[in-house]
Homo-oligomer: A and B are copies of this chain.
Amino acid sequence: MADLVEVSDPTDPRLADYRDLRDVNLRKHLEAEHGLFLAEGEKVVRRAVEAGFAPRSFLMAPRWLDGLADVLAASDAPCYVVSEELAERVTGFHVHRGALASLRRTPLRTVEEVLAGARSVLVLEDIVDHTNVGAIFRSGAALGFDAVLLSPRCADPLYRRSIKVAMGAVFALPWTRLPSWESALPSLSDAGFTTVALTLAPDAVPIEDAVVGLDKVALVLGGEGHGLSARWEGQADRRAIIAMTAGIDSLNVAAATAVACYVTSRR
């Protein structure tokens, strides 16, 4: 059973994990260095704990205690009980969803572990926006994908915003970071995946044609600004395009991913 600890001093050092949640740069350093991540809202906190992440602590206003009573009962971590005003002062924003938890990160899985048994995989290159990363996880999980591989510069799937947008799919879908950007795609091909890059390259074929009949597929998606690097675009086994209206800017990467995942799930 989590100890319920009332805290009324906003400078209390036990609240350090929850400080300045809107300061993205500060949080990135703090969370990486302390090996933690934040979950927000009863549903997401519950999913994180059910996925096996160990809480360091919880922080919530009294009215949220009941909803998470079973989770608290099963945990040895302290639960800091604070007023909503104090929660806002510490975190820097109004905590709509009430409950927060700080959880321990686990060591990243190896690529081999993540790919074991997978048939449909997303491979993200330099997608730097937490909202996009979260949206891609959510669509991938909903549309039958088995795993996600991230290039070294992709945004963190365990950042609070990514988790929230993903509706917890970052816990459900196995993922890891690729140790090498250079050899990532050839390694996937060696592992039996057909790598299919979404691109506007001149030799790109419609996505339906690129994936039809394939067994193991790795969909390769580029970053928000300039799309895929020339290296990844060139190294992919196939290049595929989503048919669009002439003269219109391309789809947002999250929308393109949803369409590509849907088509691929029906190959």
Task: Please list the residues of chain A having a beta carbon within 8 angstroms of any beta carbon in chain B.
Answer: 131, 135, 138-139, 141-144, 165, 167-169, 172, 242-245, 248-252, 254-259, 262-263, 265-266
Contact = CB atoms under 8 A, between A and B. Distances in A.
A252 B143 contact: no
A175 to B, nearest CB: 16
- In this complex, which of A135, A243, A251, A266 has the most chain B Cβ atoms within 10 angstroms of its Cβ? A251
Nearest to A265: B243
13 contacts: A138-B255, A141-B245, A141-B248, A142-B244, A142-B245, A143-B245, A168-B249, A172-B248, A251-B258, A255-B257, A256-B258, A258-B258, A262-B262
Nearest to A141: B248
Contacts of A138: 249, 251-252, 255
A167 B249 CA distance: 8
Copies of this protein in the assembly total 2
Given A254-B255, A258-B258, A259-B259, A248 B135 contact: no
B242 A262 contact: yes
A143 B255 CA distance: 11
A172 to B, nearest CB: 8
Summarize A's interface: helix, strand, loop or mixed. helix
Contact of A255 (B168, B255, B266): B255
A143 to B, nearest CB: 6
Contact of A139 (B135, B172, B255): B255
Nearest to A257: B255
B135 A245 contact: no
Closest 7 pairs (CB-CB, A-B)? A255-B258, A259-B262, A142-B248, A142-B244, A139-B255, A258-B258, A167-B249
Contact of A245 (B144, B245, B254, B255): B144
Nearest to A262: B259
Contacts of A242: 262
A80 B239 CA distance: 46
Given A138-B249, A251-B138, A252-B135, A143 B244 contact: yes
A211 to B, nearest CB: 14
Given A135-B252, A143-B244, 10 more contacts: A131-B131, A135-B254, A135-B255, A138-B255, A165-B252, A169-B248, A243-B266, A252-B254, A255-B257, A256-B258
Contact of A249 (B135, B142, B244, B265): B142
Given A258-B259, A262-B242, A262-B262, A251 B144 contact: no
